[in-house]
Amino acid sequence: MYKKVIIILLSITMVFTLFACHNNNENYKVIPYVTQNKGARYDVLIASQGSSFKDSLVSHVLKDYQDQSIRFKVIDAYTLFTVDIEKWDAIIIINSWEYVDPPKNIREFIRSNKKNADKLIILSTVGSHNMVFDDIDTISGESVIEKIPDYTKMLSGRLDKILNKT
């Protein structure tokens, strides 16, 4: 009898632990939106995975460029397969990588657009420097809210370099 109770309690504890760990990951879909900037000189796409950290980082980047002639479109990173890279002056991808590898849809998007690698900036919140794309501008770090100003500065600096080429 005690064995059954212990097994049931352990099973319930495992299920609860898995559920709690899954929900702590707080990633969610990003609702697409466009910043309105009539007569914008540049069009920049930001493809992000939803989380408090990533949303805050996107907001900081948009604030950095609010007075410049740039139209931003923000989309969920998992919809990158619908994007025609030729329509954009630059694309920023902000996503969590698991096991030092991007999710399949992002990996495929990057690989299929190698000829336009100079338009891509990737920020991976994985904390690893073992990046799989040699020719792509990749920033790696951890999702620490206090580091958002540093990441914003890095993204803005790299975006400025891309836009100044066009």
* Distance from C-alpha of 123 to C-alpha of 18, rounded to nearest angstrom: 28
- Residue 28: the pLDDT is 72
- Confidence band for 9, pLDDT divided at 50, 70 and 90: low
Give percent of the chain above pLDDT 70.
Answer: 71
What's the alpha-carbon Rg for the chain, to the nearest Å? 19
pLDDT in tens, 52-87: 889 999 999 999 999 899 999 999 998 999 999 999
Q: Which residue, among 158, 160, 148, has the nearest Cα to 68 in the 3D structure?
A: 160
Strands, sheet with 120-124, edge to edge from the N-terminal-most edge strand = 33-34, 70-76, 42-48, 90-95, 120-124, 137-140
pTM, 2 dp:
0.76
| DSSP letters for 114-140 | GGGGGGEEEEETT-----S-TTSEEEE
Reported as a pLDDT band with limits 50, 70 and 90, residue 139 is low
pLDDT of residue 23: 40
- Of residues 82 and 144, which shows the higher confidence score? 82
More confident position, 133 or 47: 47
User: Is the confidence at residue 100, as pLDDT, over 80?
Assistant: no
Record the tokens describing residue 72, joined without a space: 């931003």
Task: Please report the domains of the chain, with CATH numbers, ordered by start residue.
Answer: 33-165 (3.40.50.300)
Whether residue 139 contacts residue 155, with contact meaning beta carbons closer than 8 Å, is answered with yes
> What's the pLDDT score for residue 89?
97
Higher pLDDT, 37 or 21: 37
